[in-house]
Amino acid sequence: MAVGRLSLLYSFLCCTLLFLRPQLSECAGNDSHSDQLALLAFKAAISSDPSGAMSSWNTSVPLCQWTGVNCTQQRVTGLVLESMSLTGTLSPSLANLTRLTTLQLAGNMIAGEIPPALGGIITLSLLDLSANGFVGSVPPQLQDLSNLTYLNLSKNSLTGEIPASLGKLTVLTSLDLSSNNLTGQIPAQLGNLTSLTRLQLTSNTLTGAIPASLGNLSRLTILDLSKNNLDGELPPQLGNLRSLVFFKVSTNMLSGSIPTSLYTLTALNDLVVYTNLLSGELPSNIGTYLPNLRILNMYDNQLTGLIPTSLANISGLEEIDLSQNQFSGKIPANFGMLKNLSWLGLEDNHLEAKEASDWDFIQSLTNCTMLDYLSLDMNNLSGSLPSAVGNLSTGLSWLTMWDNQITGEIPSEISNLANLNTLGLKGNQFSGKIPDSICQLTNLEALILFGNQLSGPIPSCIGNLTRLNEFYLHHNQLQGEIPPSIGNCKNLNILDLSHNRLSGSIPKELLSLSSLSYYLSLSHNLLSGPLPPEIARLQSLGYLDISYNNLSDQIPNGLGQCLALETLTMNNNFFNESIPVSFKNLRGLKVLDLSNNNLSGDFPDYLAEFPFLQHVNLSFNDLTGKVPTNGIFANQTAVSVLGNSQVCGGISSLDLPACPGKAPKKKNHLVVKIAVPIACVILLVILVPCLYIVFISKRNSRSKRRSFKAAPLEGQLLNLSYAELEKATDDFSFDNLIGVGGYGSVFKGNLGSDEFIAVKVLDLQQQGAFKSFMAECEALRNIRHRNLLKILTVCSSVDSSGSEFKALVFEFMPNGNLDMWVHPKADQKIGSRNLTLAERVNIAVDVASAVNYLHNYCPTPIVHCDLKPSNVLLDENMTAHVADFGLARFLQKINGKGYKAPTTSIAVKGSIGYVPPEYGVGNHVSPQGDVYSYGILLIELFTAKRPTDDILKDGLTLQKFVENQLSNGLPAAQIVDASLISKESSELGERLETCLELILRTGLSCAKTRPRERMKIKDVVTQLVNVKEMLLL
């Protein structure tokens, strides 16, 4: 009986399921259709999909086969479109994906606000919108995502405060809001997130104290609050974070002493607190409590006391940086126990060495075979430098001890440090000769020995240092001649031999160094003879000082070819004859001093037209003629012409005699007396009506529109109003449109007399346009280089309709941009012929020189962030000029170790194919990023292949393509653009193949994936200049 009942029940259930099955299928189908509609709405909000990631998103392809879509039982559970370069906005329709657990859209360019509706996807466990362009606040509705374990909104432009309601996400394990513009205090409610293992809030503008409640996060392994404006003391409760491995609160305004409890976090690997106001002493037993410490970085604080010797007990310690504090006493002599130590920074303290035994730490450090960086500058070290310094790690690349009181000779054993690239011993009391053995340091890039008491000659073998980039020997007592072998230092950018007792002539080999592009000073010596004509080769040099010597004869006319000069001081010599006419070309000069020579001839009145000139001293010569009253000569404090007895004119405050007028002719008096009155009457009859017409015209013009004058950049003379720009561009007509960019359009303008300009008009409705405008103004304000596009002025005004108007006015480049030449189109006039080999090499050198200047020789280094062919413009001589600084970033000096991007930097967008990979994961901009972009540009210039070409698929990049071809033994001549192999270039034979391969490998070395493996841009310049010389171009 029971069996019968069970059988009947089974039959009933089967029938019921058969009956309900169509309805259940219909319900599931409806949900799947709802998911499809939500994703299609998401796609509709995306304005650009350059990689075609959503090309499969259509009704002909099953939903669960769409790229980036993950499904479970025909329902969408995951949307993963990471680093697809998507632009547009984020559709709130995603809230209709009711089974979604993963939303991964990191590394795109999606803008707009984060839809509050996302808070309704209660199934969501992972939300990653990092590295996009989101603005607005963090939606407080995210508090409803009760299943969320991972939240990453970093590297956007979010503003406002961190919602305290995020403290309700109790299962959250990772929270990253770094690299935004968030303000306010860190909510104490974040202390409720007891499951949290990672909390990253770095690079915002958060204020207030660190909440003590963060001490409740017992599972936390990573805590990064760096690069904010936090103040107050470090809460002792942080000592409860027993799992903490990484602790970083650097670059804030934290004060007080470091809590003792922090030194008991035994799992800690990284303790990073630099650039704060922390005080107090380090505990003597710190080495006992932090056995796993790897990095101890405390520079730029107010810490005092002795450096604990117990640090030597932390066997895994790799980096110690205690610089820029107030530590005193001796440097511990047991640091040699730290076998993994690679970085030891102790500069700018009160550390001392008085007795020979106080230098025992040097002998101890010889056991640190991994040591790469040792800086002991600005302490109280005295006595002799022990010869054991030569036994330090052969891998040491940085050794500086400047501004101490070290005496004695420079140990010859220092030559054992074969990999040293920076040696700085300036500002001490070293005496004796520079040891010849120093010439064995063939990897040296910077040799800094100035401000000592060194004597004797400069070693004749100095030419062995072929990688030398910066060489400072000034303010010593060196004697003898400048060795001609210095001409072998083909990388030399900066040379300062001033304030010594050097004699003899200036070697022509020195002036043949075309690499000298920044600074050359030979002043205050006993140099004699003429200035060699090879001076004309220093066409990239910005600063030349040969004053206070015994140089004589005529100034070479070739000096006028040094167009990059900004400072030229030749005073207190015996130069004679006239100032070369070629000086008219030196329009970039800011300072000119030719005083106290024997110069004669006409007064150089053309100097009044030099737009950047700030100081001119021509005193005590024998110049003749009229002193102008305009330009620099209108400022008495900026000009000196004393001691020139035959000059006249000038402004009254110069107290010069008036220039004599021309004597009138004495014949034809009667004709003159009759003709002049008649001519005056006729002139009045014609002039009065004309003046009336002009007056009426101007009055009408003023009634139609207001005209605001432009704001010229500092030192510029050009002043243009909106009306003048409107006229020059024919009302910004389409016919004058020469380019369209992300933030505006560029028009060709004619100021009259065929004086052409380029006018970049900002589209202020475009998000980020104003920021781009300000960035470009700031970047271009104080930089000048022959290979940078020259800005003429800025116009910030209103247009004829009363709307805000902002524009940048540049020199016009008649040959367009490099992209037009490398990838010509059939209908374009510019770039209708192929670039020659010589032109491509010259352009490559030009662009590298510009980047080298931006990185290494600007007052504040600049990273361009958007190097690509379309941002390289070509003038009438096909000279390249790097343009478009709308994404440029200034770098900040960090503790004498180099530069980094400012803490307010956000992820840089750049251009697809040229952006370095590290930017995509949120690293700060860096010079290495520009080097990567340059490498891609260089390869593209010679192969005529874009980094986004159709042939580059399935992970194949342009650099991999070239590298594979070279590895397979294909000649470089068969890899580069076929048009390069002309009859003329083929005659170069093996030299051509060698040079082409060298160029391609240079591009590959620049475009390495890891920033540290990339070439330095100054080495790139040297490499390409060598190629140019090999090709005899």
Q: To which residue do tokens 């030559």 refer?
A: 415
Q: Which of 31, 866, 884, 1019 is catalytic?
A: 866
Q: Give the DSSP per-residue string, 717-767.
A: -----HHHHHHHTTTT-GGGEEEEETTEEEEEEE-STT-EEEEEEE-TTST
Classify each residue of 68-80 as buried b or exposed e, where b means 16 or more C-beta atoms within 10 Å of its C-beta. Answer: bbebeeebbbbbb
**What are residue 97's phi and psi, to 5 degrees?**
-85, 80
**Residues near 734 by Cβ (< 8 Å), separated by ≥ 6?**
none
**∠ CA 772-778-781, rounded to 5°:** 135
- C-alpha–C-alpha distance, residues 599 and 609, integer Å: 21
Structure-token pair, residue 86: 């998507």
Strands 446-448, 453-456: pairing is: unpaired
Q: How many CB atoms lie within 10 A of CB 422?
A: 19
Using an 8 Å Cβ cutoff, are 254 and 277 in contact?
A: yes
- C-alpha–C-alpha distance, residues 948 and 935, integer Å: 15
Nearest alpha carbon to residue 858 among 771, 780, 775: 780
Using an 8 Å Cβ cutoff, are 335 and 361 in contact?
A: yes
Q: Give the DSSP per-residue string, 846-902.
A: HHHHHHHHHHHTSSS-EE-S---GGGEEE-TT--EEE---TT-EE-EE-TTS-EE--
Name the DSSP class of 797.
E
Q: Give the DSSP per-residue string, 490-533.
A: TT--EEE--SSEEEEPPPHHHHT-TT--SEEE--SSEEEEEPPG
- C-alpha–C-alpha distance, residues 1028 and 662, integer Å: 55
508 a known binding residue?
Answer: no
Nearest alpha carbon to residue 237 among 218, 255, 222, 219: 218
Strands 892-893, 899-900: pairing is: antiparallel
Using an 8 Å Cβ cutoff, are 161 and 183 in contact?
A: yes
**Residues near 672 by Cβ (< 8 Å), separated by ≥ 6?**
none
Q: Is 866 a catalytic residue?
A: yes
Name the DSSP class of 402.
-
HEC string of 81-141?
Answer: CCCCCCEEECCHHHHHCCCCCEEECCCCEEEEECCHHHHHCCCCCEEECCCCEEECCCCHH
List the catalytic residues. Answer: 866
- Point out the annotated binding site: 760
- Point out the annotated binding site for ATP: 760
